[in-house]
Amino acid sequence: MNREGIIRMAREAGLAYGTDEKPLNSVTRFATLVAAAERSACAKVVEDYCGAWDDEGYALAAAIRARGQL
């Protein structure tokens, strides 16, 4: 998810409009935090499910977390 995508979704949801950057910056920051929390939760599910008996689980969890670094 990139900034343009976040702004597009915010506008579709009626949360952002016009060219006023302050509301868009708030929405962008909020969406970034939500996405990071969701990645973390997904990575934890993978670790809990297969990490204890499969090193690939940890690799998959790392790949999920790394998506935030794009």
Q: What are the sequence ranges of the domains in the chain?
A: 3-69
CB count, 10 Å around CB of 28? 20
Quick: pLDDT tens for 20-52. Answer: 666 777 778 888 888 889 999 999 998 888 866
| Cβ neighbourhood burial of 46 (10 Å; 0-12, 13-18, 19+) | buried
pLDDT of residue 58: 85
More confident residue, 59 or 7: 59
pLDDT of residue 40: 92
pTM of the model: 0.68
DSSP state of 52: T
